[in-house]
Chain A
Amino acid sequence: EIVMTQSPASLSVSPGEGATLSCRASQTVSNNLAWYQQKSGQAPRLLIYDASLRATGIPARFSGSGSGTEFTLTISSLQSEDFAIYYCQHYNQWPLTFGQGTRLEIK
C-alpha cells in the first residue's frame, strides 16, 4: 500500500495571502494524484486531478504541481471560502489511499 503524507498538518494564513500544501507518496505514483477540499459537514470536492488539471468549476487560484513522489497544491490569494481541510489521494494502484489532510485555518 502506498502511504500518502501531507504537510503541514495545519496552516494558519490570512485572507488574501497564498498557501502551499505538500503531499508526499511513499513510492512513485507518476502523475496519478488528486486533491480534494472538504468543509465541515460536507462531502469532499475534487479540485485537481492528474496532479495539475483543475476540475470543472474550480477557480484558477487553485493549482497543482509535481510528479513521482512529491506534489504541491498552491492556493493564491486565499478567499474566506477556501478555509477547509485538503486531502491528496493517489490512484496509481490498488488500494487507493488518501493523505491524512491539511487543515487550512484563518489567521
Chain B
Amino acid sequence: EVQLVESGGGLIQPGGSLRLSCAASGFSVSANYMNWVRQAPGKGLEWVSVIHSGGTSHYADSVQGRFTISRDTSTNTLYLQMNSLRADDTAVYYCARDLGTAVRGFDLWGQGTLVTVSS
C-alpha cells in the first residue's frame, strides 16, 4: 500500500528541538520531491520545506536556519529536524509527496503529527 506515516510530534518547550519522521511505503522517497506542510490550530496550510529527488532543499522563510529536511533511503523515511522551536511553530505537521519528479501538486499526504511548543 502506498502511504505516508508521520511520527515524532509532541509537547516541547520553547527553544527546544524535535525530529519528525515520515515513513513511506509503496514508493521511494528519493524518487519524488518530498515536502513538509504544517497547519496551526484552526488556521490554513503553510508549506515548510521540500527535498528534491536530487537532494536539493528549500525552506519557508519562517523556518529557514532552524529546520532541516533530510531523508534516509535505506529506511525510506523523510525527516524534519526542528531546532529553536517557538510557540508559533505549534501545528500539525504533514509530510506530502509531490505528484512527480518536479513540483506539480501534492498527491499523497500523511495523517499528520501534532507539535505543541509551550512551557
Contacts and interface: CB of A to CB of B under 8 A. Distances in A.
A107 B66 CA distance: 44
A7 B47 CA distance: 20
B117 to A, nearest CB: 21
Contact of B44 (A34, A55, A94, A98): A98
User: Which bracket fits the contact residues of B?
Assistant: 20 to 34
Interface string A30-55: 00101010100001111011100001
Interface in B68-119: 94, 99, 103-107, 109-112
Interface in B27-76: 35, 37, 44-47, 50, 58-61
Contacts of A100: 44
User: Which bracket fits the contact residues of A?
Assistant: 20 to 34
Given A43-B110, A98-B45, A98-B46, A49 B61 contact: no
A102 B37 CA distance: 18
A29 to B, nearest CB: 11
Contact of B106 (A32, A34, A97, A101): A34
Contacts, number: 62
A100 B44 CA distance: 6
Nearest to A49: B105
Contact of B104 (A1, A38, A50, A97): A50
Decide if the interface of chain B is mainly helix, strand, loop or mixed: strand
A99 B111 contact: no
Given A1-B61, A46-B99, A49-B99, A99 B44 contact: yes
Interface of A: 1, 32, 34, 36, 38, 43-46, 48-50, 55-56, 87, 89, 91, 94-101
8 closest A-B pairs (Cβ-Cβ)? Answer: A49-B105, A34-B105, A43-B109, A91-B103, A96-B47, A94-B58, A98-B45, A46-B107
Given A49-B107, A50-B105, 13 more contacts: A32-B103, A34-B106, A43-B109, A43-B110, A43-B111, A44-B45, A46-B107, A55-B107, A89-B45, A91-B104, A96-B47, A96-B50, A96-B103
